[in-house]
Amino acid sequence: MDRKSILITLAAFSLFVSACGGSIAAPTSSPTGIPAATQPISPTAMAVDISHLGVEEYPRVDGSTSAYPLQITLACQILDVACIWMEGDLFGTTRSIIPDPEFEGSSDQVEKIYSIYHNGTHGSYMNLIEGNADIIIVARPPSEDELQAAEQAELHLEFKPIALDAFVFVVNEANPVDDITLDNIQNIYAGEITRWLKLGGSLGEIHTYQRNRNSGSQELMESLVMRGAPMIESPDMILQSMMGPIHAISDDPLGIGYSVYFYAANIFPHERVKMIAVDGVHPTSENIADRSYPLTTEVYAVIRGDAPQESAERLLLDWLQTAEGQAAIAKSGYVPISN
């Protein structure tokens, strides 16, 4: 196998491990229970110098599965490594960003990029709290379990929104339902609506797929949609990996599941799976940017509150608020929060 093939295989494998929730390497609250939507920010006029963040100085990073391409994009730019998007079908149709196989820079730089893995939202929060990561990029604020763990560690978590994403619902392409109200979604997952016919679909029973506790998408589901209402207990339909809902829906014309827009649209798109509109608004980059899509969410960078002022992780957190940092975020495909 040539060098290019090896690099592509490694990239696909790292994305697969992250999506399965595994690892290779060791504000003010709103009524929904998550920080109130942050208004679009203006990039800070203050310059943040991160030119000294080389391979040795680069902070230990972690994060949500969906934010992995963003993390790689940032590392490629900061470490001055040429990177490219590649498509593959090693574990299904996936897209990932990898160092360009033709890059002629330092092997240390490339190895640093390939050393970056994401342990999923909950895993990365725990790594940060336990001191095994310096900065994480995640799809949601900390959960109650994570806040409790931080409190027990006598630790304050400092987090800032850096990009926009959206919480989306997916159904099989064969399902005639293209739009659904937020109230109906809540009623589906509360067990009050059990058949697609009531929503303009087929006669079949609705199969409600869920994610596991403390996963990024499950916490978003509970805070954004259920808002304290109990969900159906369906242990046979609880999916442990981020790929799970896409796989399940692709084979189940009666299923419904949820994910985040960036992952479903850019990383693991599937020809038999479609995202549906909520309250008449489809999840698109444009509707996320202007926040007209009702389940627009924020992506956060999080550090330990006791991080020194000149630490690499604090400098990176500050840099992400600058125009340069927001431009790097846009390169990954995420919607920059500053618009």
pTM of the model: 0.81
Q: Of the CATH numbers 3.40.50.300, 3.40.190.10, 3.40.50.720, 3.90.226.10, which one belongs to the domain with range 3-164+299-336? A: 3.40.190.10
Intervals of the chain under pLDDT 70:
1-46, 88-94, 339
Q: Kind and range of the H or E element at 119?
A: none
Domain ranges for the chain = 3-164+299-336, 166-289
Model pLDDT for residues 89-132, shown as the tens digit of each residue:
544 456 778 888 888 878 899 999 999 999 999 999 999 999 99
Task: Provide CATH code, domain 166-289.
Answer: 3.40.190.10
Q: Is 175 strand, coil or helix? A: coil
Tokens of 86: 């590649």
What is residue 221's DSSP assignment? I
Alpha carbons 329 and 234: distance in angstroms, whole number: 37
Predicted local distance difference test score (pLDDT) of residue 339: 55
Q: Would the CATH topology of 3-164+299-336 be identical to that of 166-289?
A: yes
Digit-coded pLDDT (tens) for 279-334 = 999 999 999 999 999 999 999 999 999 999 999 999 999 999 999 999 999 988 89
Residue 131, φ and ψ in degrees, nearest 5: 85, 15
